[in-house]
Amino acid sequence: MRSPLLFSAAICISKILAYSPSSYYFDPLKHLAGVAPPFDPIDPPLDPSPPQGCNVTRAAYLVRHAAIVANDFDYESYIEPFVEKLENTTVDWAKVPVLSFLATWQNPITDEEQEMLTRSGKLEATKLGVDIAQRYQGLRTPKKIWTSTAERTVKSAKSFTQGLADDTDDMSVVEISEGEEEGADSLTPYKGCPAYSSKAGSNESSEFLDVYTKPVIGHFNSAAPAFNFTAKDVYAMSLLCGYETVIRGSSPFCNLEVLSPNEWLGFEYTNDIQYHYNTGYGNPTSGAIGFPWVNATLNSLMATQNNMSNATADQDLYISFTHRELPPTVLVALGLFNNSAFSGSNNVNYTMPVNAINHGRVWKSSNILQFLTNVAIEKMECESFGYDDGSYYRVLVNDSPQSLDGCSSGPGESCGEERMREWVAQRGGIVGEFGGVCGVEYGNSTNVLGIYES
Ligand SMILES: *[C@@H]1O[C@H](CO)[C@@H](O)[C@H](O)[C@H]1NC(C)=O
Ligand SMILES: *[C@@H]1O[C@H](CO)[C@@H](O)[C@H](O)[C@H]1NC(C)=O
Ligand SMILES: *[C@@H]1O[C@H](CO)[C@@H](O)[C@H](O)[C@H]1NC(C)=O
Ligand SMILES: *[C@@H]1O[C@H](CO)[C@@H](O)[C@H](O)[C@H]1NC(C)=O
Ligand SMILES: *[C@@H]1O[C@H](CO)[C@@H](O)[C@H](O)[C@H]1NC(C)=O
Ligand SMILES: *[C@@H]1O[C@H](CO)[C@@H](O)[C@H](O)[C@H]1NC(C)=O
Ligand SMILES: *[C@@H]1O[C@H](CO)[C@@H](O)[C@H](O)[C@H]1NC(C)=O
Ligand SMILES: *[C@@H]1O[C@H](CO)[C@@H](O)[C@H](O)[C@H]1NC(C)=O
Ligand SMILES: *[C@@H]1O[C@H](CO)[C@@H](O)[C@H](O)[C@H]1NC(C)=O
Ligand SMILES: *[C@@H]1O[C@H](CO)[C@@H](O)[C@H](O)[C@H]1NC(C)=O
């Protein structure tokens, strides 16, 4: 018989082995929220290849622009003040362990280049074009793709065409105005939504910013008291890990001796709170802002060539480029990454406490709005075991198929066409109509996205 003492010793050893540092791996680049370089989060881990018996016959993509040098707001609010403080400081960084790199570090961001695509961003956008061309070999190359007018979105779209098209002259990049007077008829509908504020979420996220940065500030200020590190400085250092990586290929700020894995999770959660209240479930306008893209896109994928209005682009692929705000609102319109789903209640804000991390949340900005993040809808023709023959639809986010709540009884958790029509109409009812929810004030606003006809 095994002695109790040996038995508990064995448990002890197995615990030590299970939690040994060698099995722990942490990559900060996958926790950088809006400044994360593109990656496939595999969330959930459903198989991305078409389900057994199904062929993709059409697809649509909504893509955030690729990596930029720096966002204006991030630069002016956090990075620039930190960099100026560094220029003024009397601290001799060479003598400060862990932060000694600051003695020679140079700011990679110049004023003129801010908001521009980085070289790696252009390359990633081209690669996405190649990936899509390879994934949909049987589909026709589109004649048009659409983009909002900002330079970073237009350049992302153009870099993308280099990967997608044989000859980019055969494809036109249609620019859609970012004006607020377009209402829902643009790739930036939040700009035409008076009830949406770009500042939403900043108060809530700054509460958690203070929580997670407190020990970091204590640590850094004990090493370099004269610098007087603040919460904003720590946040700036995290942003620099992302921006410097997409500009230079790597950054000393990403070193896990500077900020630990737990501290990176704090940075990520601060952003998740921000986007929850800004473009997520914590903002009552989100779903209404994202719904017109869902509705128009499904209408185009469902239309047959006979009943497609002659103005609507007759294409197999409908691809559009936009800014970071739109993809998360589309996910809300689709009911995806809803922390409250399957909880039996709908207390959205309770799922994102501002004083502690909810590690069990599904709303993770790094997985949802990284650079070049994309939301896809695929139309499939299926003759699959155990299912009726016909058209089915599925949504993929950064290559991971998603299961739509109430619309997933087809092959590979896809949704049959008839059910899809009812389900989308139901979603429209849940999230509300753009004009009403947004409190649109001008007369000629519209609730419908018509870009596929331009
Ligand atoms: C840096 O020093 C200059 C000159 O003393 C001062 O005007 C500026 O406010 C300082 N900047 C920061 C960020 O401390
Ligand atoms: C509303 O009118 C303005 C000014 O004529 C125009 O620019 C805008 O495109 C119109 N909006 C819609 C949705 O047609
Ligand atoms: C943030 O809080 C301040 C002070 O309570 C308030 O005036 C402001 O409206 C809030 N901002 C947002 C975007 O909620
Ligand atoms: C440190 O920074 C904080 C926040 O900016 C400021 O209120 C405080 O006066 C500074 N302390 C010193 C010693 O400079
Ligand atoms: C969640 O919080 C936001 C911002 O404070 C608020 O506008 C919204 O109504 C809240 N949602 C619920 C369901 O309480
Ligand atoms: C969905 O799109 C169709 C076709 O453009 C339009 O008639 C309908 O009003 C839209 N539904 C909603 C809820 O916006
Ligand atoms: C197009 O035709 C199909 C099949 O005839 C029909 O089910 C569908 O409702 C039509 N769609 C539109 C947008 O008219
Ligand atoms: C498209 O144009 C053709 C010929 O120009 C016409 O016969 C057909 O009815 C039009 N279809 C629609 C949906 O308007
Ligand atoms: C999120 O999930 C809850 C619980 O299922 C549901 O009541 C709510 O409508 C969902 N929110 C949205 C915007 O779909
Ligand atoms: C899918 O494509 C293959 C190859 O073209 C074809 O043999 C098969 O019949 C198609 N299946 C469906 C359901 O359309």
For 220-250, the pLDDT digits (tens) are 999 999 999 999 999 999 999 999 999 999 9
Percent of the chain at pLDDT exceeding 70:
95
Higher-scoring residue by pLDDT: 11, 304: 304
Ligand 6 centroid to 432 CA: how many Å?
Answer: 12
Torsion on CA atoms 298, 299, 301, 307, rounded to nearest 10: 170
Contact 318, 301 (CB under 8 A): yes
**111/324 Cα distance (integer angstroms):** 21
- The minimum-distance atom of ligand 1 relative to the CA of 85 is 13
Which residues does 428 contact at the CB level (< 8 Å), separation at least 6?
Answer: 291, 295
pLDDT digits 0-9 by tens, 285-307: 999 999 999 999 999 999 987 77
Return the half-sphere exposure (C-beta side, CA atoms, 13 A cut-off) of residue 444.
3
Contact 170, 141 (CB under 8 A): yes
Q: How confident is the model at residue 156 (pLDDT cuts 50, 70, 90)?
A: very high
Distances (CA, A) of 250 to 74, 214, 247: 19, 26, 8
pLDDT digits 0-9 by tens, 54-86: 999 999 999 999 999 999 999 999 999 999 999
In 10 A of CB 214, how many CB atoms?
13
Contact 371, 121 (CB under 8 A): yes
**Axis crossing angle, helix 151-164 with helix 119-135, rounded to the nearest 10:** 40
Q: Which domains does the chain have, with CATH numbers?
A: 28-453 (3.40.50.1240)
Residue 268 CB less than 6 A away from ligand 2: no
**104/445 Cα distance (integer angstroms):** 53
- Nearest Cα residue to atom 13 of ligand 7: 303
> Would you mind telling me the total number of residues written for the chain in this entry?
454
Residue 295 CB less than 6 A away from ligand 6: yes
Burial readout 250-269 (b: 16 or more C-beta within 10 A, e: otherwise) = ebbbbeeebbeeebbbbbbb
**409/105 Cα distance (integer angstroms):** 54
pLDDT digits 0-9 by tens, 351-392: 999 999 999 999 999 999 999 999 999 999 999 999 999 999
Which residues does 434 contact at the CB level (< 8 Å), separation at least 6?
Answer: 183, 184, 189, 193, 288, 289, 291, 292, 440, 445, 447
Torsion on CA atoms 432, 280, 173, 171, rounded to nearest 10: -90
Give pLDDT, residue 304.
82
Token couple for 204: 């809530």
Query: What are the helix and strand counts (H, E) for the chain?
Result: 13, 8
Contact 211, 265 (CB under 8 A): no
- Across the chain, mean pLDDT equals 94
User: Is the pLDDT confidence value at 5 over 60?
Assistant: no
Ligand 5 centroid to 59 CA: how many Å?
Answer: 34
Strands 400-402 and 415-416: unpaired
SS3 content of the chain, % helix, strand, coil (to 5): 45, 10, 40
**370/29 Cα distance (integer angstroms):** 10
Give pLDDT, residue 160.
98
Across the range 34-53, mean pLDDT stands at 96
Give pLDDT, residue 23.
84
DSSP 8-state class, residue 341: T
Residue 340 CB less than 6 A away from ligand 9: yes
User: Is the pLDDT confidence value at 1 over 70?
Assistant: no
User: Is the pLDDT confidence value at 3 over 70?
Assistant: no
Across the range 265-284, mean pLDDT stands at 98
- Nearest Cα residue to atom 14 of ligand 9: 335
The whole-model pTM stands at 0.92
Give pLDDT, residue 15.
43
Closest CA to 238 of 220, 218, 255: 255
Ligand 2 centroid to 329 CA: how many Å?
Answer: 23
Q: What own/partner pairs with CB < 8 Å and gap ≥ 24 does 247-250 have?
A: 247/69, 247/108, 247/109, 247/118, 247/120, 248/108, 249/120
Give pLDDT, residue 21.
66
